[in-house]
């Protein structure tokens, strides 16, 4: 099964990417096991975390067959190549760099670049992005998502990232977002598994309420 098929399956189960910025290799596996039990199927370790490639390698070995595992804060093509060599499945960026997107696609990985404007959205899609990360979401409120959704392809995956909480998800979904990346509202460096579990379940429950009402 290729990564695109697995991405679609994960998206159908829970269209949220857990952003584990600051996690260490020793913390990664217990956190991933908890997230999986809470219903999450996609996670990223930002490359500005401690020893991120080690964390990603451990996660891929432990749960890469049941979760989509990759990296965030991917800025350069050589980073994409490092991730491909590890067998990573997901590449997330804060910016729209067509070279990074094309390299990600060429390596068979899922590309979720950061965008804010219509120009960036269409440039990312033209380069092969699988979805669009609206970052920081504080600068792309629901009204902006609604306007962009009206001109983007209907199948396009739109993920606000940054400042999203279980209470604000509904406004974004109502505007046309159909997924999220969740960082500091889910995990901060040093948080315990038990603490993150409570937050993870609140996000899962908020999404399930949305599905039940739609």
| Tens-place pLDDT, residues 86-123 | 999 999 999 999 999 999 999 999 999 999 999 999 99
Name the pTM for this structure. Answer: 0.97
Question: Helices then strands (H, E): number in the chain?
Answer: 9, 9
Q: What is the pLDDT of residues 87-96, one digit of tens each?
A: 999 999 999 9
Long-range CB contact pairs, 188-192, < 8 A, 24+: 188/21, 188/22, 189/21, 189/22, 189/23, 189/49, 190/22
Q: In this predicted model, what pLDDT tens digit does every residue of 41-88 receive, in sequence order?
A: 999 999 999 999 999 999 999 999 999 999 999 999 999 999 999 999
Which pLDDT value is given to residue 123?
A: 99
- Catalytic choice (4, 8, 27, 44): 44
CB 125 within 8 A of CB 153: yes
**Mean pLDDT of the region 135-153:** 97
Question: Which residues lie closer than 8 Å to 116 by C-beta, 6 or more apart?
Answer: 134, 135, 139, 140
Residue 32 confidence (pLDDT): 99
Dihedral sign from CA coordinates of 76, 82, 84, 86: negative
pLDDT at 1 > cutoff 80:
no
Active site residue 157: no
Q: Which of 8, 133, 157, 211 is catalytic?
A: 133
Told to judge if 188 belongs to the known catalytic residues of this protein, a careful annotator would answer: no
The fold of the 3-213 domain, in CATH, is TIM Barrel (3.20.20)
In whole angstroms, what is the distance from residue 49 CA to residue 46 CA?
6
What pLDDT is stored for residue 77 in this prediction? Answer: 99
Residue that the structure tokens 């979760």 belong to:
67
Are the CB atoms for 30 and 200 separated by under 8 Å? no
């Amino acid at each position: 099964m290729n990564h695109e098929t697995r991405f679609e399956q994960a998206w159908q189960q829970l269209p949220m990417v857990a952003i584990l910025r600051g996690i260490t290799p020793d913390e990664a596996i217990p956190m991933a096991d908890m997230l999986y039990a809470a219903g999450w199927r996609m996670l990223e370790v930002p490359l500005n975390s401690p020893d991120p490639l080690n964390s990603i390698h451990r996660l891929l070995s432990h749960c890469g067959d049941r979760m989509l595992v990759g990296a965030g804060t991917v800025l350069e093509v050589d980073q994409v190549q490092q991730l491909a060599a590890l067998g990573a499945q997901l590449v997330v960026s804060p910016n729209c760099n067509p070279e990074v997107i094309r390299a990600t696609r060429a390596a068979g990985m899922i590309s979720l670049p950061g965008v804010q404007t219509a120009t960036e959205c269409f440039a990312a899609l033209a380069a092969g992005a699988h979805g669009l990360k609206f970052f920081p979401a504080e600068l792309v409120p629901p009204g902006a998502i609604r306007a962009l959704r009206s001109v983007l392809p209907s199948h396009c995956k739109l993920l606000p990232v940054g400042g999203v909480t279980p209470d604000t998800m509904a406004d974004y979904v109502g505007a046309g977002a159909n997924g999220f990346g969740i960082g500091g509202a889910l995990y901060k460096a040093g948080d315990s598994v038990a603490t993150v579990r409570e937050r993870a379940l609140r996000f899962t429950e908020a999404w399930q309420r949305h599905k039940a009402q739609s």
